[in-house]
Structure 1
Amino acid sequence: MRIIAGQHRGLTLASVGKGDAAAHLRPTSDRVRESLFSMLMGGRFGDPVTEARVLDLFAGTGALGLEALSRGAAHVTFVDDGRVAGKLLRENIAKCRAEGETRVVTRNATRLGETAEEPATLVFLDPPYGKKLGEKALAAALAGGWIAPGATIVWEENGPVAPPPGIQLRDTRRYGDTTISICEVQ
C-alpha cells in the first residue's frame, strides 16, 4: 500500500501483514483508492478534498484519510477501536509526519457520542462488509455532531447501501467485491 498522489505521493504505508482477522482489517487497495479519488475530484462533486475536515470511520490503517491529507485536506480524525489497526494507523501517521493534522479516536465507530470538534465535511466510511455497521456508525456520527450539513460521504461496502433519511445517494461504482457509494448530507 502506498499514497497515490499529492504531497506524500509514493510513500509506502505500513504493511498489514497477517493483520487481525477479528478486526476485519481489509485496507482499500491502491487501485480502488485511485479510482475513488479520481471520481471525487473529477469535477462532478466539486472538490470535497482540498481544505476538508475529514472523518475516517473504521479507519484501519488510515490509508483513505492519509490519502486525503496528502491531497490537501486540512485535518483528519481517525476512528477505530482495533488494537492492530491502532498500531498501524499511528505508524502510518508518523510516516507521513502528520501528527499535527490528525487525531486518533480509539472508540467503537457505532458508539461515538458527542464531539467538541468542528464537524467533518468529508467522511470515509469503511466498515466490515455485510454487518450493517456502516448504517449504525453513520447514525451515531450524525447524532453526535461529527458530520457537517452538506458533507460528502464515501461509503465502502460489498454491495449497494441504503442511506438513512437526510442522506442522498449521488453515485455508486463497483470495483471487484467493493462497492463505493458517494452520498451527501442534506
Structure 2
Amino acid sequence: MEADIIARTGQLGRGGWAAVLDDMRPGMRWLGESRLQINVHDRPPQDISSAQLLFLPVTPRPCWVTWDDRGHYAVVYSCAGALAESGRPAAPRALGALLGPARAGVLVLLDTPKSTSHLVALTGQGLGSVGRHLKILLDAGLVGRRRSGRSVLYYRTPAGDVLVAAPGGGG
C-alpha cells in the first residue's frame, strides 16, 4: 500500500485528482466540481456528498465499487507503484562494474522515491545490505533522502541521474 500511496501522490502532484482517479478503474473519471464518474453505465448520478468514500488498493487486477446502507462507499482498485510493477531491467554492466552490481541496481531503482523496505522487496537483498548501499550512495551525493510520515524515502539526485543516464549507464 505504501508503494501505491507514493505513486498516487506523484500523480496528484503532476495532474491533480483527475490524474489519480482517471486510471484507477475502467470507466472511472474525475468530472470536476466534486463529481466522480465511477463507470460508463447511463444511470442517474447519486449525491454522496455526506457519505464516506474509501479507496482500497488490492493486488489482483479486477476493480469494483461497493457500498452499504449506512453511506459507506468504496472504490477497490489495482495497486500502482514500484512493488506492483514487473519487468524492470537489471542495472547495466558498465554501471555495475563501477559501483558493484547490487549497489548499481539500488541506484537504478531510485528513479522514483522508495523506502528501504521497498528496495529490500524489489532487490531481494537483506535490509543491512540495502542500508549499506544507501549510505554509500548518500555519502557520494548520488541519492538524497526525505521523510514522508513515518518512512524515509530515498531518491536519485541530479548527480545520480547523470550517472545512470551516461552511455552504458542504463537511462
TM (norm. structure 2) is 0.28
Higher helix share: 2
Which is higher, the Rg of structure 1 or of structure 2? 2
Question: Could you tell me the TM-score, scaled by structure 1's length?
Answer: 0.27
